[in-house]
Structure 1
Amino acid sequence: MTPVPLFTDDWVLARRPARNSLAADRPYAWLVEPEPAADGRLVDVATLFLTNRECPFRCVMCDLWKNTLPESVGVGQIPEQIRWALAQLPPSQHLKLYNAGSFFDPRAIPPEDYPEIVRLAAPFERVIVECHPKTIGTRCESFHAMLTKQGVKLEVALGLETVHPEVLLRLNKRMTTDDFAQAAHALRAAGIAVRAFIMVRPPFLTEDEGLEWAKRSIDFAFAHGVECCSLIPTRDGNGAMEELARAGHFAPPALETLERALEYGLALRAGRVFLDLWDIAKVSPGAPDRAARVARLARMNLSQHLEP
C-alpha cells in the first residue's frame, strides 16, 4: 500500500463536479434484469434508483451523490417514484430499492412512507435495500416487520468495500470491519438476508494487492453471514478519484483481476457472487479477446458456475 494521509469530508467536497438536476417525484433510473436467487432460480429483479437526499457520509470513492438532492424529499414522493417506475416495467419477482445512500436514513427515505412502500412492495417475493452499517437500527426493524406481515423477505445490502484496515480508514467511510460484522450479525439474527458490496482494487493498492484484498474481503463477508457478494470494479468520475489517480494512488482494476476475483468467489461455493458489469466498457479496453471474456463473466454471473 502506498503511504497516504487521511481524507476529510472537506477534501472530498472540494473536488466534486456539479450534481445532476433531478425531479423529486421520479427515480433517476429503473430497469429489470435477471439474477440468480438464493434458492437457485433465475428471477427477474426490478431495480429502482430512487431520487432522495444525499448520503451524509462522504466516501472518497463514491460517485452516487451525483444523482441525489441537496434537500430531503417530501412525504409521499418516494412512494410516487416507486408507483410510477413499476408502471413502466414488466412484472418481476424481486424488487431492489437503491437510493444512492442509506435506505434507513430518515432524511433520505421518510419513515412515514414505510407503510405505502410496503404496500407497493407486497406483490414481490423479496425487497433489497442498501444502507451504511451504522444506520441499522429500529427503523430497519420496523420496515422488516411490515414486510414480514405481507410475506415479503427483506435483504439489506451493506458496503463492506474492503477489509484492508488502512484503506478502509482512508476511504472516509467512518466504519470498521467490526461495524460491518456487528450489523451483519444483527440483521441475520432478525431473519434479514445480507448482501455485501466489495470493491475490486480500491485506491492505494497495487493490482496484485487489489486482487488479494478482494479475496480476503469475500472471505470475511461469507464468514459473517453474508449470503451474496457484489464485486464492484473501482472507478473514477467523482473528482476525488481523478486526483488520487494523478497522484499515483489509484488505477482501475484490469479485466484479468476482475476475472480472478469472480472465479475465486464462485469457487468457494459459500454463497452467490456477482461481478458488477455496469461500467465494464471502461475496463481494459485493449485487452485481447475482450468481448468473449466479458461475455463469459456475464454468463458466470447468471449461472453461478465457473467456466473454462
Structure 2
Amino acid sequence: MKNIKSLLLLLIITSFGFSSCQKDIVFVEGSGPGGTKPTTYTTKMSAKVDGVLVECEFAYAQQYTNPDGTKDIQIYGIKSAQSFILDFQNFKGVGTYNAADLISSGTYVSGVNDPFNNGHYAESGTIKVTTYNSKVIIGTFEFKAVNTIGEIKTITEGQFVISLEPIPGPTPGNTTTNITAKVDGVATDFTGQAAYVKSTLIGNVMTIVGTNGVKAITIAIYNYKGSGTYEIDIDAQGSYNEDQSQTGSYATENGVKTGKLIITSATSNTIKGTFEFTAPNMVSSLSTKKTITEGKFDMSYTTTTM
C-alpha cells in the first residue's frame, strides 16, 4: 500500500480536475468548561517555485501504519500539472525533518508529460510539522531540488494544512448514477467520471472512477483501444475503497488475471460496458478481499494528450 504509483495517481487527479476536495476541518481545542471556540482549518497547500507562487487546487495526505508500529505519511499538493510531494517514513509527529534524506523527502513535479525530467528531488532543505493530531497535519517546507539532467528548482515559503479525516465524494442520485455493481453481493450505485490520457511515454490510459460517499471504485485500462475485452489485471487494474481507511483499500495484483472488463460501445467521448473482478486487501498481511460482480457503466469522458 505504501508503494503508491504516484505518476498514474497524478494523471488521474489532474485529468479529472478534482478541485472540489478542499475541506474545512472543525474541532474544539484546549480545555476548560465547554472547551474553546471551535477552530476551522481549510485544507490547502502552496509554495513558491523559483519565486512564483503555486497555490494547489487539491491537497491530501495518506497515512500507513507498518507492522512494527511505525508510521509513514505522504502529503500531496496539485496545481494543474504541477505537484508537491512530502514523504515521511517512521514519522514522529511535530518536529523538523530533513527534506533530502532516506526517511523524509521533498519532491516537486513540474509536469506529467516527461516523468523522467519533470521530477525534481530535494538535495537540501527542511520540512517542519507544527501541528499533528487525528484530524489535521500542519506545517511548512522549503528545499532546493534537482532533476535527472541537473536542472534546479528552488522551493520556498511552502505551507500545508491537510485534513486527515475521510473526504466523502459525490453520492449518486436518481439522475447521476452511471456506474452500478454488486460489492460482495450488495448492489451499490456510484456517480462516476471517466478520463482518457494519451501519452507516448506511458501509453493510452482510460480511467473510470465512481464514488458513493467514502466508497470508491476505480478501473484503469493500461492501453485503451476502444471496444473489446480487457483482462483484469493484465490489460487493466481494478480497485475498490470501502471507507478510505488503511485496511479498507483493495486492488487487483499486476499480472494476476482476476476478472474482465468489456467495452460494448465507445465513441470519441462516450464509453459503455461491463466489469467484474476480485481484489485482495492492499495490506498484504490481511487475507480479506472484495468481489465485484455485475458491474455496468455508461458515461462520457474527457481526453488529455501529453
Q: Do the two structures share a fold, i.e. TM-score over 0.5?
A: no
Scaled by the length of structure 2, the TM-score of the pair is: 0.26
Bigger Rg over Cα: 2
Structure holding more helix per residue = 1
Q: TM-score normalised to the size of structure 1? A: 0.26
Q: Specify which structure has the higher proportion of strand.
A: 2
